Amino acid sequence: MSETHRAVVFHGNVQGVGFRWTTSRVAEKFCVRGWVRNESDGTVRCEVVGMNAEVCAFLTAVNDAMPGHVTAQNDVQPDGGSIPGSGFVIRR
């Protein structure tokens, strides 16, 4: 089985509310690795790698952990940056 690499941009009230911290804590419950960071346009970008079912469950859990904060979630092209070999990090 091969891994899936998804890059997602979250829109809404996602900066200054603990969204990145919550995302990194949610990631600890899944077999995924990746990163999350604030973007200058007020969105939050997340890149995650893992088995497809784990990645999908992780993204659902992020939304569930921050009810009312995410107004839209869009898949985008991965930026080509490095994904950690293990774990999930908050980038600045």
Enumerate the active-site residues.
Answer: 20, 38
Q: Quick one: CA torsion of 8, 57, 54, 76, rounded to 10 degrees?
A: -10
Q: Are 20 and 38 in contact (CB under 8 A)?
A: yes
Q: What is the Cα–Cα distance from 33 to 67, expressed in whole angstroms?
A: 23
